[in-house]
Each structure stands twice: as C-alpha cells, then as structure tokens.
Structure 1
Amino acid sequence: MSAPLACLDHAAFHVRDIAFHIAFFRDVLGMTVTKLDGDPDDPKQAWLLGGIQLIRDAEFTGPEGRFGHLGIICQDLPATIAAAEAYGAVATAKGPHWLLLPDGLLLELMAQKGDAVRIIRSVDPRA
C-alpha cells in the first residue's frame, strides 16, 4: 500500500507580541498576512504567506512550548487520518482531523482543494 500524499501548509508558533512578529516577517521576509483572527489592530492569530501561523500568547515565557502545531494539507484526508491512527495518533477535542502523536507532536490535517498536493510537491524550492 502506498502512503497518502500530503504537504506542509503551515507551522504555528506562540508569540508574546504578535504585531512585532507580523511586521518582522513582512518587512524582513516579505511574508504578508493572508488571514487574521480577531481585531485587525490586535489579532489573536495571523496566517502569513509562506506557511507561518502566529498565535498571540501574552503569557508565553518560552522557549519551551513555543511551537503550536503543524498544519498539513492531505490529498486523501480520511486515508491520512487512518494511516496516522495506525501509528498511534489520537484525535483531540478539536476534532478528528486534529491528531496528537505519541510523543506529543500536534498535527492539524486538512483536505486539499483541487490538485494542491500534487502541484506543491512538484515544486523543488532548492532546485
């Protein structure tokens, strides 16, 4: 059996000062905001072009715990969930597509739109 295909959509991180991080990624790396959650002047979360999700957490004192989760786009979501469960992943209270791996890594699995996984995996950014 071949493994279901998937690709990384985003990596989520907890940050104390979300405005600073939005400005940093925009000004230094050209990663503009694609989506905000909450007040645009003080959002709870921000998603940036390039695969970064920022989660405002004023109480964060890190560095441990800064990582939130990996968001992964799946070509066949039900098959990917089943394959992950066979490896011991368990669904969380957020839903069956939020899976916690045995070592604590949290995954958010999402269904692709169109032929996104094949298109993204066909690009080698280091080529």
Structure 2
Amino acid sequence: MPVAALDHVNVRTTDIAGTLAFYRDVLGMEVVPAPGANDITRSGWVLDTAKRPIIHVGSAELNYPSDGTHPFTPANGSGAVHHVAIACTDAPDMRRRLEAAGLDVSENAIPSINMLQLFAVDPNGIMLEMNFRDL
C-alpha cells in the first residue's frame, strides 16, 4: 500500500502568533521556523516529542504551492484546516492513480529537504498533500 502514515496537519490562520503560542505555551510543544524561514512570524512547525513536524501553521496570506489549482479561503473551525498530509512511497505510481481517477494533480519539489509533494482533492473537497521523501 503506498500510504505509509499521516504526515502532518496544516492550519492556515490570520492569527499566527496566537495559534503558535497555543501549541507552544498551552500544550507545551516545540515550535520552530518552517524550512527556508528565519522566524515564526508568518509560519511555524509544531514538533512532536520525536521532533517530527506534525502541525504546520501558516499565515492565510502566504502563497502555498497548491493555491494555483486549489485556492484557499480563510475560515474558522474545521475550515481552518487547509490540508491533510500523508507520507507516501512511489510517486510515479501515485500520480498515475490520481490521474486515472480523473483528479487534478499539482506538484511541488523541495530540494532542500529532498522531498516531492503531490496535491489532489478527495471527493469531499479535502485537499491531500502526499509527501515522498528521500528522492
């Protein structure tokens, strides 16, 4: 099976400081800048105890690689969850499966962390980010 695990949840918000403070100060989680960022003013990764970034928090104003094909509208409640990310294997096979299902697929490469991302929307309108690491 090509899906190995849930990778992270992404929350896009107009309250970056308050959201990151909640995870850091209320839940006691570690917050670090996202790759390529020098601080947490526009985005941050919330780490689990194994130092894995399991919650990504980003400004609603940031441009995400998937915005061109799947525009984002800020919301509250569960609407603030932008996408669900899953760790996967075999990117070519996954792309074939998604396209065979008639889904629009967008792609983003992040060479600095050796990762390829595929984005598609499930039948319920939930965006999935499929991450392929160590390419």
In structure 2, the partner of 1:121 is none
Q: Could you tell me the percent identity over the aligned residues?
A: 30
What residue is the counterpart of 2:58 in the other structure?
55
CA distance in 1 between partners of 2:93 and 2:99 (Å): 10
Partner letter of residue 78 of structure 1? P
| Paired residues, number | 111
**2:123 aligned residue:** 102
Distance 1:42 1:69 in 2: 21
TM-score normalized by the length of structure 2 = 0.64
Question: Counterparts of 1:39 and 1:14 in 2: how far apart (Å)?
Answer: 19
Please name the residue that 1:40 is paired with: 39
Q: Do residues 81 (structure 1) and 95 (structure 2) align?
A: yes
8 Å CA contact retained: 2:3, 2:86: no
Between structure 1 and structure 2, the one with the greater Rg is: 1
- Secondary structure class of the residue paired with 1:65: helix
Distance 1:22 1:64, change over 3 A: closer
SS in 2 for 1:12: strand
1:90/1:101 contact within 8 Å kept: no
* CA apart distance, 1:41: 5.6
TM-score (norm 1): 0.67
> How much is the aligned-residue C-alpha RMSD, in angstroms?
3.0
* Runs of at least 5 residues in structure 2 that lack an aligned partner in the other structure: 49-53, 62-72, 110-116
Aligned-residue offset at 1:39: 5.9
2: CA distance, partners of 1:42 / 1:99: 28
> What CA distance in whole angstroms lies between the structure 2 residues aligned with 1:112 and 1:11?
17
In structure 1, the partner of 2:8 is: 10
Q: Partners in 2 of 1:66 and 1:53 — Cα distance?
A: 12
Note closer, same or farther for the CA distance 1:79–1:42 as it changes in structure 2 (3 Å cut). same
CA contact (8 A) 2:107 2:118 kept: no
Structure 1: stretches of 5+ with no match in the other structure: 115-127
Q: Aligned partners of 2:133 and 2:22: how far apart in 1?
A: 29
